[in-house]
Amino acid sequence: MAKKNSSNIIKFQKQIHFNVGIVICFIILIYIIFHIFTYLTKDNISIYEVTQGSIATDYDYTALAIRDETIVYSDRDGYPYYYKSNNATVGSKSIVYAIDDTGDIVNTLNAQETDITDLSDSDLSEMENTISTFMNGYSNTNFQKIYAFKTDVTDSLSELYNNQAVDNISADIAAAQAADTYHAYTAADTGLLEYYLDGLEDLTVDNYSSDNFDTSTYSKTSLKTTEKITSGTPVYKLVTSDHWNLVIQIDDTLAEKLADTSSLEIQFDEDNAKTWTTCSIEEKAGNKYLVLSLDDSVDRYAEYRYINIQLLIEDQTGLKIPNTAITQKKFFTIPKSYFYEGNDSDDLGVIVKGNENTGLITPTIYYETEDSYYVDNEYLHTGDVLIKSNSNETYTVGDETATLDGVYNVNKGYAVFKIIEKLYENNDYTIIESGTDYGVSLYDRIALQGDKVKENDIIN
């Protein structure tokens, strides 16, 4: 009975159900994988929006100072005693130093105990000016100013000590002078007093050379001493004029930039003071120099032969683009006389010999000069012969070419080469002229990787 019942069972074919959702998901997965693979393997082009900007330029230099300097020598043997401090302004009646034949007066002066708590109004004013100058130019990043300030204060206090010491033993000094053993000397001329020599006192704007800019060999010698000196020994020098010069060695680029400049503002790194100078460019032995002429500030920097300054040249302003966006393209240059309007439009075109019946070919014009238009090889090719209208003259495309700098404009989603006119560039950015024909404009979108783009590439 069981066998009979089993024979009545009818087996049905299992149906295969087609799941549309799975198929769609699979297609989407393949699509995503394809685009991820394409993205990872292709050159990805970033977009940059052109902005107005400027490039800050570093014009820091070490300048050679040239002044009118006179060295004064002792006319006798003896022990020197200095009345005036370094960098003091002296006149023809100012006592600068004295020579003690025996050394007795100098020893007494040096042994004096002085009290300078009761300063005169003029002494207080001078000290206040020294401190004020330091405070105005103080910077946590420039500790050299602290040492310069210490030197200025020390010199000022030294002069006050010396003057009071002289007053304390004025009777002894008078007696030594009467005995002709103590000799006081007034300044040889009006000027700024300096107690150092560096061998460059005879420099002028006519006789300096490139060797004078090698600071590694520079040294200077202090003239202040407590030892006995002999006749003919230098005892001090005077800067005798407010007019002085700063000279810096420059490259051809800066020389060209300043070729038409007659005045220039500079800033001194020592105290951040600014001043205007007249300037000129000179060439010696193949090197170019910028010569700055000043009529002030000599007193603040007379103790320095080499002075760090900054040229305050205006930053170049215009359209600012990254250097990576800049590339080059080669063009055919075709005389303008071969272009004319036709085909019921204002577009300029040319006629190619052998294709006269097809009408004008209107290539894209990328740039123009007074005599020529610049076109690429999209519609014209090397060897094409152009016909001049109403003439038997012809011109062969490719006879003259030019390569120009530019960027790829992608405003419309595809790359279009645009010519740029550079104003200034540094390692990262270039400032270009704005408002030029065939060029880029403010807020244009350009390809950031110019060397990876070709004309008419689709840029997403």
pLDDT in tens, 343-357: 677 789 999 998 876
Residue 143 has pLDDT above 50, yes or no: yes
pLDDT recorded at residue 322? 95
Against a cut of 0.75, is the pTM above it?
no
Q: Are 441 and 411 part of one and the same domain?
A: yes
- pLDDT level of residue 167 (50, 70, 90 thresholds): confident
Average pLDDT in the chain: 85
Convert the pLDDT of each residue in 371-390 to its tens digit. 999 999 999 999 999 999 88
Of 457, 449, 458, 451, which Cα lies nearest the Cα of 45?
A: 449
- pLDDT level of residue 1 (50, 70, 90 thresholds): very low
pLDDT recorded at residue 172? 82
Instruction: Tell me the C-alpha distance between 236 and 240, whole Å.
Output: 13
Q: Are 358 and 288 part of one and the same domain?
A: no
pLDDT average, residue stretch 300-328: 91
Residue 14 has pLDDT above 70, yes or no: no
Of 194, 210, 297, 193, which Cα lies nearest the Cα of 247?
A: 210
Q: How many domains in the chain?
A: 2
Residue 15 has pLDDT above 70, yes or no: no
Q: How far is CA 396 from CA 324, 404, 426, in A?
A: 35, 21, 39
Q: Are 439 and 351 part of one and the same domain?
A: yes
pLDDT recorded at residue 277? 96
pLDDT recorded at residue 355? 80
Residue 292 covered by a domain: yes
Q: Are 256 and 344 part of one and the same domain?
A: no
- pLDDT level of residue 53 (50, 70, 90 thresholds): confident
- pLDDT level of residue 242 (50, 70, 90 thresholds): very high
Cβ-based neighbours of 98, under 8 Å, separated by 6 or more: 80, 81, 83, 105, 182, 183, 184, 185
Instruction: Of 4-18, 90-104, 242-256, 437-451, give the lowest mean pLDDT range.
Output: 4-18
pLDDT recorded at residue 41? 59
Tokens of 344: 């019921």
Residue 204 covered by a domain: no
Q: Are 59 and 316 in contact (CB under 8 A)?
A: no
- pLDDT level of residue 54 (50, 70, 90 thresholds): confident
Residue 196 covered by a domain: no
- pLDDT level of residue 106 (50, 70, 90 thresholds): confident
Structural domain for 308, as ranges: 58-67+242-314
Convert the pLDDT of each residue in 22-36 to its tens digit. 878 888 888 888 767
Domain of residue 271, CATH code: 2.40.30.170
pLDDT average, residue stretch 103-129: 69
Q: Are 291 and 63 in contact (CB under 8 A)?
A: no
Of 328, 398, 337, which Cα lies nearest the Cα of 372?
A: 337
Amino acid at 104: D
Amino acid at 69: E
- 294, 314, 334 - which closes a domain: 314
What radius of gyration do the chain's Cα atoms show?
41
Higher model confidence: residue 328 or residue 436? 328
Q: How far is CA 168 from CA 105, 173, 175, in A?
A: 12, 10, 14
pLDDT recorded at residue 11? 61
Of 71, 407, 15, 382, which Cα lies nearest the Cα of 236?
A: 71
pLDDT average, residue stretch 200-226: 93
- Count CB atoms within 10 A of the CB of residue 242: 15
pLDDT average, residue stretch 353-375: 88
Long-range contacts from 154-158, C-beta under 8 angstroms, 24+ separation: 155/85, 155/86, 155/87, 155/88, 156/85, 156/126, 156/127, 156/130, 157/116, 158/85
Burial per residue of 36-67, b for 16 or more beta-carbon CB atoms within 10 angstroms, e otherwise: eeeeeeeeebeebebeeeebeeebebebbbbb
Q: Are 269 and 379 part of one and the same domain?
A: no
Residue 343 covered by a domain: yes
Residue 357 covered by a domain: yes
Residue 255 has pLDDT above 70, yes or no: yes
Cβ-based neighbours of 90, under 8 Å, separated by 6 or more: 84, 96, 187, 190, 191, 192, 193, 238
Q: Are 445 and 325 part of one and the same domain?
A: yes
Q: Are 436 and 421 in contact (CB under 8 A)?
A: yes
* Helix spans in 47-198 (H): 104-110, 121-136, 144-168, 170-178
Instruction: Tell me the C-alpha distance between 68 and 238, whole Å.
Output: 8
Residue 63 covered by a domain: yes
